[in-house]
Homo-oligomer: A and B are copies of this chain.
Amino acid sequence: MRFDVLVEVSLRPGIADPQGSTIERALPSLGFDRIEAVHVGKAIRFIMEAPDEHSARGTVEELCKRFLTNPVIEDASITITAS
């Protein structure tokens, strides 16, 4: 089966997020003044082959731990949909 996978990589709570802070600081001068808690992460999308969704999730979790994220400072949220 083929699956569409989205891995959202975000900085863990407490880790400085300079991109998010810069966006947040710039917004009021552009006229957007009711926005807060801006965080910038990565959205990694790919297509994978796997026998079923359970094994697809296992592979993606291993991939995140070994390669896509730095688990010391980043969290990964995985969304898998059959395609």
Contact = CB atoms under 8 A, between A and B. Distances in A.
Interface in A30-50: 30, 32, 34-50
Interface size class of A (residues with CB under 8 A): 20 to 34
Contacts of A43: 8-10, 40-43
A59 interface: yes
Copy number in this complex? 2
B68 A48 contact: no
B30 A47 contact: no
Nearest to A62: B32
A39 B35 contact: no
Contacts of A37: 45-47
Contacts of A63: 27, 32, 35
Closest 8 CB pairs of A and B: A34-B49, A43-B43, A38-B46, A41-B43, A35-B48, A37-B47, A39-B45, A8-B43
